[in-house]
């Protein structure tokens, strides 16, 4: 699965354009297709009071991070 399980962010298609700026080159610059992939990570989130392990994009993981992971890090630092 190559999409975020929370927001559904997935692959997007764009173009690579060679940027050589001299004369009429910009009009005939080589253009190739490329794929932009989401920044997916495995992590645990708190969803409806239940901790679930999900594959989510980095922005969703930061937004829905499980609070026990933060508490565990505080205990280990003491």
- Between 77 and 9, where is the model more confident? 9
Lookup: tokens for 72: 């565990």
- On the question of pLDDT at 26 being above 80, the answer is no
> In this structure, are residues 7 and 57 in contact, taking their beta carbons and an 8 Å threshold?
yes
What is the percent of the chain with per-residue pLDDT over 70, rounded to a whole number? Answer: 71
Residue 51: phi and psi, rounded to 5, are -85, 125
| For range 55-61, the mean pLDDT | 89
Global pTM value: 0.62
Q: Tell me how many degrees the CA angle 49-55-60 measures, rounded to the nearest 5.
A: 65
Q: With 90 as the cut, is the pLDDT of residue 41 above it?
A: yes
Average pLDDT over residues 14-38: 78
Asked if pLDDT for residue 75 goes beyond 50, the answer is no
Backbone φ, ψ for residue 30 (5° rounding):
-70, 135
């Amino acid at each position: 699965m190559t999409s975020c399980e929370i927001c559904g962010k997935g692959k997007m298609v764009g173009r690579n354009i060679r940027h050589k700026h001299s004369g009429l080159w910009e009009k005939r610059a080589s253009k190739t297709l490329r794929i932009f992939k989401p920044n997916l990570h495995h992590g645990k989130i708190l969803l409806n009071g239940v901790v679930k392990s999900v594959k989510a994009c980095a922005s969703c993981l930061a937004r829905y991070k499980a609070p026990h992971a933060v508490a565990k890090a505080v205990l280990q630092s003491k």
